[in-house]
Amino acid sequence: MACFPDFVGSDALRERIGDAVRRNRLSHAYLIEGPEGSGKRTFARMIAAAVSCEKREDENADLPCGECPACKKILSDRSTDVHYLDRGDRATVSVDAIRDLRREMALSPTELDVRTFIIDDADAMTPAAQNALLISLEEPPAGVLILLLASSSDGLLPTVRSRVQTLRLEPVPPDKERAYLLRTSPEAKKLDGEGAGKLDAVISASHGRIGVALAYLTPKREAALQKTRETVDGVIRAAATGASYAEVLRAISSLPTKRTELTSCLVPLIEASRDLIVLKRMPDAPLLFYVDRQAALALAERADLSRLVKIYDAITDAADAVASNGNVQTVLTSLAVAVRGRN
68 binds Zn ion (CB under 5 A): yes
Q: Closest distance between Zn ion and the C-beta of residue 49, in Å?
A: 6
Between 1 and 298, name the residue whose CB sits nearer to Zn ion: 1
Task: By CB under 5 A, name the one of 17, 26, 71, 217 that touches Zn ion.
Answer: 71
- In this complex, which beta carbon is closest to Zn ion, that of residue 75 or of residue 147? 75
Count other C-beta atoms under 10 Å from residue 286's C-beta.
9
Query: In the complex with Zn ion, which residue's Cβ is closer, 66 or 174?
Result: 66
53 scored as a contact of Zn ion (CB under 5 A):
yes
Stretch that binds Zn ion, among 64-72, 238-246, 274-282, 320-328 (CB under 5 A): 64-72
Tell me how many degrees the CA angle 111-114-117 measures, rounded to the nearest 5. Answer: 105
Provide the minimum distance between the beta carbon of 53 and Zn ion in the complex, in angstroms, as a whole number: 3
Single out the segment in contact with Zn ion by CB under 5 A; choices: 2-10, 67-75, 184-192, 247-255: 67-75
Nearer of residues 53 and 172 to Zn ion, judged by Cβ: 53
Sequence-distant (≥ 6) Cβ neighbours of residue 339 within 8 angstroms: 239, 248, 310, 311, 314, 315
Residue 65 near Zn ion by CB under 5 A: yes
CB of 324 to Zn ion, least distance (A): 51
Residue 260, phi then psi, degrees to nearest 5: -65, -40
- Catalogue the E-assigned strands of the chain: 29-33, 82-85, 115-119, 144-150, 165-168
Residues 6+ apart with CB under 8 A from 50: 3, 4, 17, 18, 21, 56, 63, 64
Binding flag, residue 51, Zn ion (CB under 5 A): no
Pick 71 or 210: Cβ nearer Zn ion:
71
Q: Is 46 in the site for Zn ion (CB under 5 A)?
A: no
Using N-to-C axis directions, what is the helix angle for 127-138 and 95-106, rounded to 10°?
A: 20
Answer yes or no: are the C-beta atoms of 206 and 267 closer than 8 Å.
no
Contact positions with Zn ion (CB under 5 A) in 212-241: none
Residue closer to Zn ion (CB basis): 62 or 271? 62
| 75 in contact with Zn ion (CB under 5 A) | no
Do residues 318 and 335 make contact, with C-beta atoms less than 8 angstroms apart?
yes
Q: Of 51 and 122, which has the nearer Cβ to Zn ion?
A: 51
Decide if 175 contacts 9 (C-beta within 8 A).
Answer: no
Q: How far is the CB of 66 from Zn ion (least distance, A)?
A: 6
CA 116 – CA 14 distance, rounded (Å): 18
Residue 160 makes contact with Zn ion by CB under 5 A: no
Residues that bind Zn ion (CB under 5 A): 53, 64-65, 68, 71
